[in-house]
Homo-oligomer: A and B are copies of this chain.
Amino acid sequence: MRWGFVGLGQMGLPMARRLAQAVDLTAHDPARDAAEGLRLVHRAPDLAPCDVLVTCLPNGDVVDTVLFGPEGIAEALAPGTVVVDTSTTTHAAALRLAARLGDLGIGFLDAPVSGMQARAEDGMLTMMVGGDVARLDPLRAALGTIANRIEHMGPVGSGQLTKLVNQLLFNINIAGVAEIMPIAARLGLDPVQIAQVVNSGTGRSFASEFFLPNILKGVFDQGYPMQAAHKDLVAAEALIVEHGLSAPVLAAATASYRETLTQGLGHLDKGAMIQVFEQKAGTALRARDPD
């Protein structure tokens, strides 16, 4: 079985390297001529013929271009090929891609992953898959080299929905930390002590555990840039209105996120939301006692 892989970024490169140890894999990235341990081709269509094509790209528009653009690979793929899109796109994009590929007789699984670069390097990602389980099952062993947890969530689009739900909760939790912790500092509590109490108490979250230590050090470049992650909030807004749903806490978190972007902090990670509320509270949450 031949595998193709498109997109050798922060997540894609370690994923492709792990997969290449398990299967016969050829890779492509428009910005790379070489990558240690990988066999590359210069044009995406040269990945064909292959049995499985994995994509790991920044958003749904890029996936669309890679598959159906002027240099697109979709036309070169044989009927029966399966495209496994590990990009974080949207429910709507997954449905659209599946329909267009389906017209060519090509299968599609939306399979976004969660976990950061370190977990990608260790093959410890969680993969949330939407689509025909009969297409997924034969690939589980190989995909298991990049994701130690593979959850089939339902029909096409379910993988994107699952990842979105997780990301929305993550955004709410960090937005809460961003507005509440400067209040604590402004009211005279020591930032290091209050962070310790929160992270050992009922107020803790992955967001508080991941971001508070970095915030206390003034480090804001250890997560995904906010301007890239903003697509999750755009996708949520569309879904919520489409289905007539109510999400008031998310709406408030989204407003804080947006304000952080409009203040020019979008290149930083989500911990940077605290800078907006530090300004409002007239305080800063740096460690007073750096031990």
A interface, CB within 8 angstroms of B:
91, 114, 126, 128, 149, 151, 153-155, 158, 161-162, 165-170, 172-173, 175-177, 179-184, 186-190, 193-194, 196-198, 200-208, 210, 239-240, 243, 245-253, 255-256, 277, 280-281
Q: Given contacts A183-B240, A256-B249, is CB(A154)–CB(B188) below 8 Å?
A: yes
Q: Interface on chain A toward B: helix, strand, loop, or mixed SS?
A: helix
Cα A245 to Cα B183 with chains together (Å): 7
Partner of A166, one of B154, B167, B198: B198
Chain B residues near A176 (CB, 8 Å)? 168-169, 172-173, 176, 249-250, 253
Is A190 touching B153 in the complex (CB atoms < 8 A)?
Answer: yes
Is B200 touching A149 in the complex (CB atoms < 8 A)?
Answer: yes
Partner of A165, one of B175, B184, B256: B184
Write the nearest CB–CB distance from A243 to chain B, whole angstroms: 6
Is B169 touching A177 in the complex (CB atoms < 8 A)?
Answer: yes
Is B239 touching A202 in the complex (CB atoms < 8 A)?
Answer: no
Chain B residues near A281 (CB, 8 Å)? 245-246
Partner of A114, one of B162, B202, B252: B202
Is A154 touching B204 in the complex (CB atoms < 8 A)?
Answer: no
